[in-house]
């Protein structure tokens, strides 16, 4: 005979709706003291955020600068603007030659004529800081270009002198800053110059203020701490 299944309804009194689970004491202690992170983690996070910010600055502000047609990546970074011209006829592909904006181009060089005065040593350092050097004059054509250029800068000045990259380290032994050999036959000293070589060891183009100055005879040796203007030179950049 088959067995019968009996169902009965059982009710419990004074029992809470939710079951109460007892947690061991050591587990409670671990939960009340969450795990500590390594001390270097906040520094690493800050560094990563800084790198992200730098990357954004580069993408937003620096990258467009290098995409300009007249600002090639190959140019020195201590100038923000360059002027470039093509050396081949229009319509044909070719490279560009570039000078920093504000510099004057002549043949294969760029020239900067200062508007402030310094000693010869400071002038040399200033030119070097711009990726150039005090001018080295190698030909009559270059001398004529620079003299006429300097003559037109301060039209109302009584006297104007520009340092060039020529000094006498020893009496009578002149040396160009780029180590170009000194050729006395290719110099443009004023009459009776250079003189007083025991004291006046630095050369300058004397543009105004002396009746003996002319296009091809205007160099003057002076005291090296004299405050003068300067001419800086650097080779044109090919890109």
pLDDT > 80? residue 19: no
Entry pTM = 0.65
Residue appearing with tokens 């140019």: 75
pLDDT value, residue 229: 95
* pLDDT-based confidence at residue 236 (cuts at 50, 70, 90): very high
Decide if 82 is inside a domain. Answer: no
Domain count, the chain: 1
State the burial class of residue 21 (Cβ atoms within 10 Å of its Cβ: 0-12, 13-18, 19+). Answer: exposed
Decide if 115 is inside a domain. Answer: yes
Domain of residue 140, CATH code = 3.10.100.10
Decide if 51 is inside a domain. Answer: no
Its domain, for residue 166, covers: 103-238
The string of pLDDT tens digits covering residues 66-117 is 433 333 444 444 666 888 888 665 555 567 889 999 999 999 999 999 999 9
The string of pLDDT tens digits covering residues 145-192 is 999 999 887 665 667 899 999 999 776 789 999 999 999 889 999 999
Gyration radius of the chain's alpha carbons? 39
d(CA 154, CA 122): 21
Decide if 223 is inside a domain. Answer: yes
Decide if 85 is inside a domain. Answer: no
d(CA 162, CA 231): 6
Decide if 27 is inside a domain. Answer: no
Across-strand partners of 199? none
């Amino acid at each position: 005979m088959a067995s019968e299944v009996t169902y009965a309804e059982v009710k419990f009194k004074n029992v809470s709706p939710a079951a109460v689970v007892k947690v061991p004491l050591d587990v409670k202690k671990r939960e009340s003291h969450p795990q500590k992170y390594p001390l270097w983690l906040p520094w690493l996070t800050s560094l990563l955020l800084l790198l992200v910010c730098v990357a954004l600055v580069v993408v937003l502000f620096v990258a467009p600068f290098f995409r300009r047609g007249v600002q090639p990546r190959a140019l020195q970074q201590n100038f923000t603007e360059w002027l470039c011209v093509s050396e081949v006829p229009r319509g044909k592909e070719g490279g560009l030659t570039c000078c920093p904006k504000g510099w004057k181009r002549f043949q294969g060089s760029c020239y900067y004529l200062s508007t402030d005065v310094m000693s010869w040593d400071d002038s040399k350092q200033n030119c070097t800081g711009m990726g150039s050097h005090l001018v080295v004059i190698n030909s009559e054509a270059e001398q004529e270009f620079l003299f006429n250029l300097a003559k037109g800068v301060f039209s109302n000045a009584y006297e104007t002198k520009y340092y060039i990259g020529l000094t006498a380290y020893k009496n009578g032994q002149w040396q160009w800053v780029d180590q170009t050999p000194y050729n006395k036959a290719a110099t443009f000293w004023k009459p009776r110059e250079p003189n007083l070589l025991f004291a006046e060891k630095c050369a300058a183009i004397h543009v105004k203020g002396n009746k003996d100055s002319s296009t091809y005879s205007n160099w003057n040796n002076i005291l090296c701490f004299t405050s003068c203007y300067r001419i800086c030179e650097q080779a044109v950049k090919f890109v």
